[in-house]
Structure 1
Amino acid sequence: MFTLKQAMFRPGKAALDYINGKRISYYNVFYLILLLTAFGIFIENIYATATANYISYIEPSVSSPVLDILGKYVKFFLFLAIPVYAFNSYLLFNKKKYLYSEHLIIFGMYFLGIILITLFQNIIMFTEFVESLAFIADWSSVLVAFLLFPYIVNGLYGAFGKNYTKIGFALRTAAYIILMFLELRLLAIILKFYIKNYH
């Protein structure tokens, strides 16, 4: 629980503690990622079964092949994100000359928090089956986006904020977030190409 709490509320500082050898209180970050990912898949399977059983109570949603693949393999794509986004921080936030492997640990700690936030969304989605609460499920993606943005900024500041001026940190953070969106856009383009040519 200590590691999860730290990953949720102070991921940047917790990652630096871990890198600096203060590991007695921390559970292995990547083992926790695997455990929570498995739990997330379990929750998603329950939700999928419930949706199949009670589909008549749910408004049909418009989907697309790209969104279908992203939904089906979202955990796989998130795992791919760890080395990519760690490389982003290695390029943009390396005044202290951290090794790439240390940036992997830093983003691994962020990723743990991101999984916790997405698990929160998965659980919220069950409100879809209660008519009076269905609006909460409809707004869950907006809520998650609202939580993720400050979470990432807070994590970056905890890990790297003291190494830069406020303006320098803000510019690097903006570049980091832009890179994230560009990489996600590139992934969408690759998926569209794959669907068009192989499906």
Structure 2
Amino acid sequence: MSELRTDFKVELGRGDLFRGYLRTILLYGNGARLLPVVAAVLLFIVFDAGRAIFRGEGLGLLHIGFLVGAIALIGAVTVSLFTIAGKLHRSLPSAVAEYQLDDARGIVVRSAGRTERLPFSAFIGSVETRHAFYLYASRTAFRIIPRRALGDGSERVLRQILARRLPNSPEPPSSRWVTVLAFAGLAFLVYLGARR
């Protein structure tokens, strides 16, 4: 029987939910397929604006319009997601949960008078970031364990258990062809822009 076991208390904040959902939307959500296209378009606009400035032409209305539109879109998405994270945080029965991770028995979570016993097979993988550990039940359903809730000993044991039991991160949606087409299109647009 393994002796790897750790207990800790987690208190989720609004920022934890915001970072978790933003990360999941960008990397694992269905919209993640379009991320390479958006990146390619933004790179083209930046390249073309740089080219125009370098040639002394100045920025055109199209450059300024795209810049303002990109800033407005990013701002609207950020504010919306932060608002949704706040509503989700307020709707939680309790933002506090006690976790018990045992390498042999799985995960026990106690919160708001309920106890959940979850085998490691209930999860498809885990991810460690600068702010938290994420335990994914699917590409878009996850549990958050903020690093601030862990002492050095708990973090070390948690990392060992997750490396042994949940070593894989969720697979992003397949977007290889989208990425290839986006950057081929970007290369073509750069070629056309350079010929002007």
TM-score by length of structure 2 reads: 0.23
TM-score by length of structure 1 reads: 0.23
Quick check: which has more Rg, 1 or 2? 2
Larger strand percent = 2
